[in-house]
Amino acid sequence: MKTLLRLTRLFRPYWRWMALGTLLALVVVLANMALLGVAGWFIAAMAAAGAAGGTMNYFTPAAAIRAFAIARTGGRYLERLVTHEATLRFLAGLRVWFYEHVEPLAPAGLQHYRGGDLLSRIGADIDALDNLYLRTLVPMAVAAATGLLAFAFLSLYSVPMAGIDLIFLTLAGAAVPLLTNRLASRPGARLVETGSRLRTAVVDTVQGMAELVVFGAAEAQIRDADRLSLELIADQERMSRIAGLGSASLGLLTNLAVWLVVLLGIVLVRRDEVPAVDLPMFALVVLGSFEAVAALPQAYQYLGHTLAAARRIFAVVDAPAPTPGPTGPSPAPSDHGLRLRDVSFRYADDAPWVLRSVDLVIPEGHHLAVVGPSGSGKSSIVNLLMRFWDCDLGEICLGGHTLRDYHSEDLRRMFSVVPQRMHLFNTTVRENLLVANPQADEAQLQAAAAAAHIHDHIAGLPDGYDSYVGEAGLKLSGGQARRLAIARALLKDAPIMILDEPTEGLDAATERRVMDSLLSAATGRTLVLITHRLKGLEHMDEIAVMDEGQIVERGTHGTLMAASGRYRQMHEVLTAS
Amino acid sequence: MNANLWLKHARTSAARPLRAAVGLGTVGGVLLVVQAWLLARVVSAVVFDHQSLTSVMGLMWLLLGVFAARAAVAWLTEWVAFRAAASIKLQVRRQLMEHVRAMGPVRLIGEHSGELASTVTDGVEALEAYYARFLPQMSLAVLVPVAILAVVFPLDWISGLVLLVTAPVIPLMMTLIGKGAEALNQRQWRRLARLSAHFLDALQGLTTLKLFNASRREAAVIARLSDDYRRSTMAVLRVAFLSSLALEFLATVSIALVAVLIGFRLLWGELDFQSGFLILLLAPEFYQPLRNLGTHYHARMDAIGAAERMVELLDTPPPAAVGGGVPFPATRRVDIEVRDVRFAYQTEHLALDGVSFDLKHGERVALVGPSGAGKSTVINLLLGFIQPAAGSILVNGRVLHELSPEDWLRHVAWVPQRPRVFHGTVLDNIRLGRPDAPLEAVREAARLALADGFIEALPEGFDTLVGDGGQGLSGGQAQRLALARAFLKDAPLVLLDEPSANLDMESERLLNAAVERLATGRTTVSIAHRLNTVRRADRILVLDHGRLVETGTHRELLADPGLYDRLVHSYGEAG
């Protein structure tokens, strides 16, 4: 309920559209009910007049019938336009709202959602919210209003008759859907589960076909998928029976309501409490009123899905900002040197420490390499420098001020980064590069790409820099994507460079050339190079060796090789065996 | 084959339940007419014949009986239609999976597994609404209105005429407007998909956007795109909803027309009330099946969309069956001769261009060369996944591609570059090749593969669920799991594709030690990415552009300046 209220608060900017849409939907149902009712009364009255050999004023009812028919038709068209307009406006606002709420959280607050699946589920969740208004709230509001208006109208003639209609409408519109939903909740959950197991089995079969064949397990795997397919059908059959039961009882309840109203009507007619010619009208008005509850079973289903989706969305949005910004303006850094003082850090309170009392001084213009086995905490330093996370103990300073004093945008303006994982957007090569610097001109673009040794490849593509990359476009190899990321970082002219395994996935020859470009671009800038490869470190001003979150050794290539410590040991493992 | 045709063809397997569903739907239609007649009779008797409740009570009970029968028939129809669709779905899914299997490992590499999986799962599900709802409704949309006309015409030909004239206009209008709207709709769907994809892309790339201070800019982009989408969608909907406007208009206005016409004929005494009321009751029901058809129309579009993907898959011919029927008796000794083998995946480009070498029992051979040199092709040939276009491969003197593949593969263990961790327990994963292997043997294999350490550290040890939706394993762990698989299979020929990505030092050490053990006493061919492996090889085969350019030991090859020498130097360090 709280979720629903919170969701409806998001509706506020669009409430006029939404109210208008609901009103039109109500008009459509009422017009039909009125059309049927008046038509029933009209023919009975005309027949009675004809039988009595008299005449009657047929202009008014005939005109009313036409008017209702037109109200129904036009109302339906307008209703659909207005409700869709409302939904689309709401969805557009919702996307921006969600994005704006999530943006400050990334990536620390989203670390649980890193898998593409979870994120795409969030995307789907947002799309799912369009059902809330269109398929849940409108039908429910219309059903409630119709029920009450039908009750009010019928009670002009007979309160018990009005009561019968209302009771059966409630049964059909609330009791039956709730009951079937309850019946379906467990098989429904199992259905989802079986479906995802089947999907897993199919993906396993496709991706693991070679191993399945070599190990003689293909037959068993296919059988397994077939078994799941059968299981899925069995689950669906259970659901289908429940759904069938629901729709059959909806029909039955409609008919029973008509039956009881006719029965009561006959009694009332015989007692002369109502005119006999009204009897067909009662039957048809009751019949018409059930149109309002027909969409409700579906509405409940959507409600369940939508609320679940909304809860997931709120859970994401409600996470506190991981790195709150300062209140005042950012200070002016005295230079672009970095200092880590006794920094300790872990990703969660119950997670192991990834950095333990790390001390580093990187004066402006210095080049520092951080080396160590994977998992030693190297990349966490990047996360802290970018203020994606804050350190738990100690302090990090840039230009004499703690990072916490900078607004994150001012801070990141000073860094040019090649992170370990760089996202390529589903757009053109050009757009992907321009992310780094929207003002860059063609020459700058090509220079950066050339320095990353990717220009020739891009130029060779059919659409050159306007070729689409990413999921929807061209598949780039891991190495090509990496080089595009490097080009992107080179395009951003910032005083501090951070390179996290920049040449991962590149072949040896390209690696060397790209590294040379990067180092020459870094001339005069502060550089932090993070790597587990020990090549080309001879020119670094300092090398810090990390292991298990601590700096175990530091010095230049020469002094470290001479010291015969961990660095030398690592060198030997990689070079000789 | 055309998707539409294929859909029609697929329904033959469920012809009987589909006919039953239509039959039941027709029975439901007839019951509906009976119900309307009874109601008209009762009301007419009370209003115009001044009958008492008791005298119509018999008819009222009958009416109640019809209600019950209609509910039962409705429920049964739903069930039968479901059964029909279910049997088709099951059969189609089987056909697709069989086809996937027939495509074989090499052909599947180029397929998008996610897309394929959604064709087999969601795609097949999309057929349900078509077979269970749209198809029966197609027949009912003709049968029920005809039945109603048959009742109405004798009672009042004018009303009958109104219904008859408007009825065909509805499907006609719907198809006319529907076709145009459908194209617009499809375009709109693509736009929505693009919008959703863009949004998802922005979320996934949020960290990158932040790095470049581009994340706030992006909010404006999302707002603009969403608004553009709204505008263009509404432009489409204004037209698309015209079809429902037309439908609604015809149905509603003709009911109104029928009511007014009946009213006047009643006033003039040309019709009795019971008939008039019956017609009024039947008029909305006359249009109902046509409306239902409209609401299920998108089911047809969805099914055609899904069928197109299926047909596309099924039309991809599986590669010619590889392997023959010659039995290959179990042996612990495997000697292989590769004689002047050529192979091409596509006709224009030779992947292997006359390669010859021998593999002696117990020998360790490393394949090196730049990517695209043909290393994987050699492995695929040895696995028997593909057969040489020219030349031959002899195993213990027999031609490999004439052997029964099952017999041959019993002698081969394979550890790919990125081993697949199947959904299931660790235990199931290791005994992939021997589902009945005793636990002790599995433990021993894991121990030999140096995988026991991490397996026992998992929450439930060997019973831990891994793979999709289970515990995640690191690259190094998956490799050792695959090695355990190979140890358990205990085959005389081991094929290895080393991981090219960098493992951390500990993983690398464990992996090397385990591979070392696996190679002992077996014939081993590995695609080598590490200096370590090539040094230990008895022989190194250097491939380039599908040719064997150098062969020898590490030391011998280094003595000659050639491709190997260059490759080793670009690894960074030479010995």
Q: Residue ranges of the domains in chain B?
A: 1-152+296-319, 157-270, 324-411+495-501+525-575
Does A259 sit within 8 Å of B63, measured CB to CB? yes
Least confident of A186-195, A529-538, B45-54, B436-445: A529-538
Q: For chain A, how big is the Rg over CA atoms in Å?
A: 35
Measuring CA to CA, which residue among B339, B482, B342 is closest to residue B398? Answer: B339
- Alpha-carbon separation of residue B163 from A280, B94, B168, B243 (angstroms): 22, 45, 9, 19
Does A81 sit within 8 Å of B237, measured CB to CB? yes
Residue type, B154: P
The number of beta carbons lying within 10 Å of the beta carbon of residue A179 is 15
The number of beta carbons lying within 10 Å of the beta carbon of residue A246 is 22
Adjacent-strand bridge partners of A344:
A393
Does A532 sit within 8 Å of B215, measured CB to CB? no
Helix (H) or strand (E) holding B556: helix B554-559
Distance of CA B500 to the CA centre of its chain: 31
Which chain A residues touch B505 with a CB distance below 8 Å? 373, 570, 573
Question: What pLDDT is recorded for position B469?
Answer: 64
Does A51 sit within 8 Å of B502, measured CB to CB? no
Selected for mutation to probe chain A from B37, B41, B42, B43 (highest A CB count within 10 Å) is B43
Cα torsion A151, A156, A157, A160 to 10°: value is 40
From CA B450, how far away is CA B471, in angstroms rounded?
Answer: 19
From CA B187, how far away is CA B561, in angstroms rounded?
Answer: 60
Question: What would the two tokens of residue A551 be?
Answer: 């700096």
**SS3 assignment, position B490:** coil
From CA A499, how far away is CA A387, in angstroms rounded?
Answer: 16
Does B420 sit within 8 Å of A208, measured CB to CB? yes
Question: Which region, left, alpha or beta, applies to residue B281 given φ > 0 means left and ψ of -120 to 50 means alpha?
Answer: alpha
The number of beta carbons lying within 10 Å of the beta carbon of residue A306 is 24
From CA A404, how far away is CA A422, in angstroms rounded?
Answer: 25
A338-575: CATH homologous superfamily?
P-loop containing nucleotide triphosphate hydrolases (3.40.50.300)
Mean pLDDT on A444-469: 90
Minimal-distance CA residue of chain B relative to A267: B53
From CA B424, how far away is CA B432, in angstroms rounded?
Answer: 10
Least confident of A248-257, A304-313, A393-402: A304-313
Question: What pLDDT is recorded for position A577?
Answer: 37
Cα torsion B471, B477, B481, B482 to 10°: value is 120
- ω into A107 cis (within 30 of 0): yes
**SS3 assignment, position A38:** helix
Question: Which region, left, alpha or beta, applies to residue A470 given φ > 0 means left and ψ of -120 to 50 means alpha?
Answer: left
Percentage of chain A surpassing pLDDT 70?
96
Higher pLDDT, B382 or A373: B382
Measuring CA to CA, which residue among A26, A287, A289 is closest to residue B282? Answer: A287
User: Is B113's Cβ below 8 Å from some Cβ in A?
Assistant: yes
From CA B420, how far away is CA B481, in angstroms rounded?
Answer: 10
Does A58 sit within 8 Å of B101, measured CB to CB? no
Which chain B residues touch A199 with a CB distance below 8 Å? 117-118, 121
Question: What pLDDT is recorded for position A470?
Answer: 67
Measuring CA to CA, which residue among A566, A482, A478, A355 is closest to residue B505? Answer: A566
What is the CB-side half-sphere exposure of residue A94 using CA atoms within 13 A?
29
Q: Phi and psi of A227, rounded to 5°? A: -60, -45
End-to-end CA distance of chain A: 66
Which chain B residues touch A211 with a CB distance below 8 Å? 414, 416, 419-420, 432, 482, 485
* Among the partner residues B43, B467, B505, nearest to A280 by beta-carbon distance: B43
Does B46 sit within 8 Å of A270, measured CB to CB? yes
Distance from CA of A190 to the nearest CA of B (A): 16
Interface of B with A in 533-552 (CB under 8 A): 535
Mean pLDDT on A498-505: 85
Which chain B residues touch A415 with a CB distance below 8 Å? 211
Minimal-distance CA residue of chain B relative to A210: B105
Does B531 sit within 8 Å of A116, measured CB to CB? no
Which chain B residues touch A202 with a CB distance below 8 Å? 97, 100, 116-117, 120-121
Question: What pLDDT is recorded for position A450?
Answer: 93
Q: For chain B, how big is the Rg over CA atoms in Å?
A: 36
The class level of CATH for A2-317 reads: mainly alpha
Question: What pLDDT is recorded for position A441?
Answer: 92
Higher pLDDT, B472 or A451: A451
Query: Which pLDDT band holds residue A67 (cuts at 50, 70, 90)?
Result: very high
Give the ipTM of the model, two decimals please. 0.86
Q: Phi and psi of B276, rounded to 5°? A: -60, -45
* Among the partner residues B50, B82, B256, nearest to A66 by beta-carbon distance: B256
Question: What pLDDT is recorded for position B575?
Answer: 31
Does A200 sit within 8 Å of B467, measured CB to CB? yes
Mean pLDDT on A298-308: 87
Helix (H) or strand (E) holding A496: strand A496-500
Question: What pLDDT is recorded for position B3?
Answer: 84
* Among the partner residues B223, B413, B433, nearest to A217 by beta-carbon distance: B433
Per-residue pLDDT at A352 exceeds 70: yes
Question: What would the two tokens of residue B510 be?
Answer: 């464990």
Question: What pLDDT is recorded for position A576?
Answer: 45
The class level of CATH for B324-411+495-501+525-575 reads: alpha beta
Give, as one character, the DSSP assignment of residue A451.
H
Distance of CA A566 to the CA centre of its chain: 46
Label residue B109 exposed, middle or buried (CB < 10 Å: 0-12, 13-18, 19+). Answer: middle
**Burial call A13-35: b when 16+ CB within 10 Å, e when fewer:** ebeebbebbbbbbbbbbbbbbbb
Does B100 sit within 8 Å of A266, measured CB to CB? no
Adjacent-strand bridge partners of B497:
B527
End-to-end CA distance of chain B: 60
Q: Phi and psi of B526, rounded to 5°? A: -125, 140
Contacts with B84 (C-beta within 8 Å, 6 or more apart), sequence order: B14, B17, B18, B20, B21, B131, B132
- ω into B168 cis (within 30 of 0): no
| Residue labelled with tokens 């109210």 | A19
Fold matches, A2-317 and A338-575: no
Which chain A residues touch B383 with a CB distance below 8 Å? 210, 213-214
* pLDDT one digit per residue (tens) for chain B, 575 residues: 788 889 888 888 889 999 999 999 999 999 999 999 999 999 999 999 999 999 999 999 999 999 999 999 999 999 999 999 999 999 999 999 999 998 888 888 766 777 788 888 888 998 999 999 999 998 998 899 999 999 999 999 999 999 998 887 777 776 766 666 667 667 776 777 777 778 878 887 888 888 888 888 888 988 998 898 889 888 878 877 887 788 788 889 889 999 999 999 999 999 999 999 999 999 999 988 887 887 787 788 888 888 988 998 898 888 877 778 888 988 888 999 999 999 988 766 788 999 999 999 999 999 988 777 889 899 999 998 988 999 999 999 999 989 998 899 999 999 988 888 899 999 999 999 899 999 999 999 999 999 998 899 888 899 998 887 667 787 788 889 999 999 999 999 999 988 765 566 677 788 888 888 898 889 999 998 777 778 888 999 999 989 999 999 888 888 887 888 777 766 544 33
* Mean pLDDT taken over chain A: 89
- Helices (DSSP H) in A464-507: which residue ranges? 478-491
Cα torsion B495, B499, B505, B508 to 10°: value is -10
From CA A502, how far away is CA A511, in angstroms rounded?
Answer: 9
* Among the partner residues B83, B204, B575, nearest to A116 by beta-carbon distance: B204
Domain boundaries, chain A: 2-317, 338-575
Q: Count chain A–chain B contacts defined by CB atoms under 8 A.
A: 403
